[in-house]
Every structure is written in structure tokens, then in C-alpha cells.
């Protein structure tokens, strides 16, 4: 799904590693993820799904990152760093994506406005996630490891488009510098963009 940070994560990883992959588009906005054929691949009815061998499917973007990146320099060797990377990846799903990505989805595709109740109630926890990142980056260049890791990929996906969810990064200079560090990596390619629903 173009515009999906979750779908962007594995692409960004593969691009940074210089590895080939095939992107197969699923029309999630028009219910294709809820059809019988797709549900056999992921009973949760969501993208992304990795087909890692013919007929073998793996859902959940951060699990896909681990599967594809566990043999690369983006997965640290030190067990304490591995655990810290996983910690940030879990945090991304339960304390970041759930507020920032969902606000963005509502504003871009769900017909919400900045005044919608659903957007307003996500504002404080979303800002608090960005504040947590800003504080962490005050003392470290990366999330969980001493160099770029799978956690940075997971967090980059929705942080770099947080503005589309109504979360300006103006007050988060360390986060902006970190985004620039990730985007400067060799092989980096931007997220795919799709059609927007007409206003
Ligand atoms: N926790 C899942 C979330 C996946 C998810 O929310 N996917 C969205 C697109 S970003 C989706 O498939 N939406 C369509 C639908 O729910 O039908 C992951 O990280 O992969």
C-alpha cells in the first residue's frame, strides 16, 4: 500500500541493504485486504505481508524487519543491544504508530480534520512519543544500538511523515537531525505515494 509507513519499512530496509525485492500492490483502501484470497495470507487482513518463499507468508512490519534484517549490520551482535532494538520496535507499535500513524491515516484517507474528536484525542500521546524520541536522541545517535539498526527503520517510517498526521517536527530538532542521518544513508529511497481520495 503506497503511503503506508508499515509497508515502507521492509522496502527501506532492503533498499539500504541493496537487496532486491518485488513490491506487489494491494488495494487496501478498497477492501482488498479483507477478501478471502488475502485473508489466507494474513488472517488479520492487513498489509504488509512478506512472501518469503512460494506460499509462505509473514505479516507484521516489525517481524518482517527482523526476518529480513537479522543477518545484516542493522541487527547488532550484542544481546543487550538486540534487546534494546526490539524494545524500541515494540514501543514503535504500542506508543508511536498507534497515535501518529492513525492520525495521519484519518487526515489523509478517513475524512477527519484537525478538529475531529479522534484526531484531538491522539494529539497528546503522539506528542509525548515524539518527546520521548527527542530526549533519547539528546544522548544517542540511534535507537537501541551504537549504529543504525532495525529500530531506526521502524521508527523512521511514520516519524518522517508525522507532519501529515498534524504533528509538526519544528520543536524536535534532534528528531529532525536523526531523520536526515537516516535519509543520507546509501541506497535510501523515499516512500511510495499513491492517489489521494478526492476532497
Ligand atoms: N501492526 C501491523 C499494522 C498493519 C496495518 O495497520 N496495516 C494497514 C496499512 S498501514 C492496513 O492494512 N490497513 C488496511 C485494513 O486494515 O484493511 C504492522 O505493523 O504491520
Residue-wise pLDDT for 14-57, tens only, equals 999 999 999 999 999 999 999 999 999 999 999 999 999 999 99
Angle CA 64–70–74, to nearest 5: 100
The atom of ligand 1 lying closest to the CA of 105 is 10
Q: So what's the pLDDT on residue 196?
A: 75
CA distance 163 to 123: 12
Domain boundaries, the chain: 5-69, 79-183
10 CB less than 6 Å from ligand 1? Answer: no
- CATH superfamily placement of domain 5-69: Glutaredoxin (3.40.30.10)
- Per the CB < 8 A criterion, the answer to whether 142 and 149 are in contact is yes
Pocket residue to mutate for ligand 1, from 2, 5, 6, most atoms within 8 A of Cβ: 6
Rounded Cα distance between 171 and 70, Å, is 34
46 lines ligand 1 (CB under 6 A): yes
**Residue 154 near residue 9, CB atoms below 8 Å:** yes
Of all protein residues, the one whose alpha carbon is nearest to atom 6 of ligand 1 is 46
Q: What DSSP letter does each residue of 106-152 carry, written as one string?
A: HHHHS---TTSHHHHHHHHHHHHHHHHHHHHHTT-SSSSSSS--HHH
Instruction: Please tell me the predicted confidence (pLDDT) of residue 67.
Output: 98
**List of the chain residues with pLDDT < 50:** 199
Which residues, in sequence order, are bridge partners of residue 51? Answer: 57
Nearest-CA residue for atom 2 of ligand 1: 60
Ligand 1 center to residue 30 CA distance, Å?
13
In ligand 1, the atom with minimum distance to the C-alpha of 31 is: 17
How many other CB atoms are there within 10 angstroms of residue 133's CB atom? Answer: 21
- For position 123, what pLDDT does the model report? 98
Phi-psi region of 45 (alpha: psi -120 to 50; beta: other; left: phi over 0): left
CATH architecture of 79-183: Up-down Bundle (1.20)
Cβ of residue 1 lying under 6 Å from some atom of ligand 1: yes
Measured CA to CA, the distance from residue 46 to residue 62 in angstroms comes to 13
Which residues lie across from 14 on neighbouring strands? Answer: none
61 lines ligand 1 (CB under 6 A): yes
The CA-atom distances, in angstroms, between 168 and each of 23, 89, 173, 192 are: 30, 22, 11, 21
Q: What is the pLDDT of residue 198?
A: 60
Amino acid at each position: 500500500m503506497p503511503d503506508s509507513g508499515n509497508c515502507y519499512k521492509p522496502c527501506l530496509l532492503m533498499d539500504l541493504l541493496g537487496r532486491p525485492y518485488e513490491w506487489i500492490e494491494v488495494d487496501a483502501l478498497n477492501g482488498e485486504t479483507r477478501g478471502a484470497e488475502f485473508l489466507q495470507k494474513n488472517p488479520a487482513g492487513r498489509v504488509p505481508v512478506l512472501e518469503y518463499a512460494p506460499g509462505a507468508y509473514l505479516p507484521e512490519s516489525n517481524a518482517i524487519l527482523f526476518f529480513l534484517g537479522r543477518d545484516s549490520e542493522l541487527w547488532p551482535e550484542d544481546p543487550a543491544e538486540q534487546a534494546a532494538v526490539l524494545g524500541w520496535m515494540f514501543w514503535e507499535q504500542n506508543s508511536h504508530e498507534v497515535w501518529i500513524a492513525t492520525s495521519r491515516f484519518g487526515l489523509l484517507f478517513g475524512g477527519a480534520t484537525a478538529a475531529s474528536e479522534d484526531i484531538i484525542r491522539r494529539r497528546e500521546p503522539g506528542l509525548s512519543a515524539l518527546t520521548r524520541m527527542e530526549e533519547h536522541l539528546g544522548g544517542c545517535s540511534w535507537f537501541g544500538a551504537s549504529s543504525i539498526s532495525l529500530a531506526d527503520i521502524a521508527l523512521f517510517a511514520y516519524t518522517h511523515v508525522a507532519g501529515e498526521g498534524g504533528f509538526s517536527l519544528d520543536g524536535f530538532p534532534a528528531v529532525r537531525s536523526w531523520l536526515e542521518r537516516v535519509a543520507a544513508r546509501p541506497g535510501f529511497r523515499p516512500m511510495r505515494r499513491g492517489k489521494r481520495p478526492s476532497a
